[in-house]
Structure 1
Amino acid sequence: MLGVEPQDIEVLKTELTLEPIRADSVIFLQTANEILHIEFQTLPQSTPAIPFRMLDYSVRLKRQYKCDVIQVVIFLQETTNEVVFTEEYRDNTTTHHYRAVRIWEQQPALFLNNPALLPLATLARTDSPQSLLGQVAEQIATISDREERQNIAGCTEILAGLRFQKDIIRQFLREDIMQESVIYQDILQQGRKQEALKMSISLLNYRFSELDSSIIARVQVLSVEKLEALIKALFNISEVSDLVAWLDEEESN
């Protein structure tokens, strides 16, 4: 079949397992009976490589939903890497196509007229990035709904950080508005949890030379408030059994 004489032969399992993967955005377009799959990338490096990932996503989506899949990769940060100019996966037996959108090549007007797209406008094509950031800030200021204004400002700060220094962003976007954004607060909360988890694991390793992986797993899913409570409790916990009892009590609350 291969036309060559193999030196080593190994019989592989016929049962193929699929590792779970998570797409950025998958939307069912009911009128066209199609799926729109969108991936956002800041950097072109990826494992597995982006072209193969798009093939993998497409096959899985078609298997599950049995309809056509339209795929778009949106690259946010300007680069000359050839991956951002690639729109297909190809090997000896397969060719798969998708679309690549490079935000830095897009006209700002595409985003400035839609409040939901204002954060992307900060990365669009321009000869004067700071003037463009000013235009975005002006558009955000015209949004009448306070919660929507706060959330869009928070998202804008995040994406603008791919092009601008923090002090420049703060010149155009009011810090108090951004800090009230639920997206901004969620990011702060995640950072706070990472710090609390890091400190908790360090204290556990210091207090107990070896801990069962199941106990570590229980600690990792604690909320930031309970992690902070655990840090305080560890000053009075000397036995693993006491730690397990503390976890049992917290999980029951």
Structure 2
Amino acid sequence: MSYDNTCKYLAENYPADFARWLLASETSDIQVLKTELTLEPIRADSVTFLQIANQILHLEFQTSPKSTPPLDFRMLDYYTRLKRQYWCDIQQVLIFLQFTSSEIAYQTQYVNTNTIHKYRVIRLWEEDPTPLLANPALLPLATLAQSNSPEDLLQQVATAVDMIEETDERQNISACVQVLAGLRFDKSLITQLFREDIMQESVIYQDILQKGLQQGEERGKKQEALQLVLRQLTRRLGAVEPQTEQQIRALAIAQLEDLAEALLDFTSQADLANYLTNISPA
């Protein structure tokens, strides 16, 4: 999603601004940790780790409270991985971008039989926009802050963006503003206040576009592999049952390629069923 790339771009390019906002820290000694930790990385909307002196700030942005594993457990999981690897103080902030009434967004700890793990939660729609409007790096988040007149707030953000002197920064912040504003405002209003050509010249827009093209290429490759496997199976074993076809459609490209080789040894539908039972889903 473009929201993921936007939040990650902001946190990693303006770490001192996020540290000042969330930790009241004025230090410039900040390092963005490019790490997947240990074990398999957890799938999340947007996660950034900032090492600030002798502590780590774990930032996680969410557009939806739905998550596998659940968000509260995920915060515990990240905490234990970070603690194991860096053994320092860890501050965790879970930032919800889009309004939700889900109780998960109002939950600030993971509780189990012998475990209580606490973390901080920010619901942007409840946040005072004033400190966000005062910092160019946080202007994109200001579009989602508390306001009795959201359209007036968006106008304030647009005015603040126009006041950014450095051209590249103005283009990139404008692009980030437009992406996150899309969570709250109609596209027509956004285009009225922001020039689309400025957005298209920005780094973040080009990054979003490139990732979109890559994802499109991957989907195309998978579709080709899927059609080839289904044709081969039909020719060798006859019509594939709908439930079995659904399992095949869930496979990743590499798994489809493996199946294309393995099916040459199949002699019955049972061979196919056994093969699918013994591999993990994508």
Partner of 2:181: 160
Alignment partner of 1:84 is 2:105 = yes
Match of 1:60 among 55, 60, 81: 81
Q: Which residue of 2 aligns with 1:43?
A: 64
Contact 2:225 2:256 in 1 (8 A): no
Output the amino acid matched with 1:115: P
Name 1:107's counterpart in structure 2: 128
Q: What's the counterpart of residue 26 of structure 1?
A: 49
Query: Structure 1 residues 205 and 72 mapped into 2: Cα distance closer, same or farther (>3 Å)?
Result: closer
Structure 1 vs Structure 2: percent identity of aligned residues? 52
Residue equivalent to 1:116:
137
CA displacement at 1:205 relative to structure 2: 5.0
Give the structure 2 partner of residue 6 of structure 1.
Answer: none
2:254 maps to 1:213: yes
Q: How many residues align?
A: 199
Give the residue type in structure 2 aligned to 1:139: A
Using CA pairs under 8 Å that are at least 6 residues apart, name the structure with larger relative contact order, 1 or 2: 2
Shift of 1:157: 0.8
Residue type of the alignment partner of 1:29: I
- For residue 170 of structure 2, the aligned residue among 125, 149, 152 is 149
Unaligned runs of 5+ in 2: 1-37, 233-252, 259-282
CA contact (8 A) 2:226 2:256 kept: no
What is aligned with 2:207? 186
More helix by proportion, 1 or 2?
2
Q: TM-score, normalising length from structure 2?
A: 0.66
- Look up the SS of the partner of 1:24 in the other structure: strand
| Alpha-carbon spacing, 1:179–1:94, altered in 2? closer, same or farther (3 Å) | same
Q: In the TM superposition, what is the alpha-carbon distance from 1:20 to its structure 2 partner?
A: 2.6
Tell me which amino acid in the other structure corresponds to 1:27: L
Q: CA deviation at 1:204?
A: 5.0
Return 5+ residue gaps in structure 1 as ranges: 1-16, 218-253
Equivalent residue runs for 1:220-239 within 5 Å: none
Distance in 2 separating the partners of 1:72 and 1:115: 21
CA deviation after TM superposition for structure 1 residue 18, in Å: 3.5
TM-score norm. by structure 1 comes to 0.73
SS at match of 2:160: helix
Q: Greater Rg, structure 1 or structure 2?
A: 1
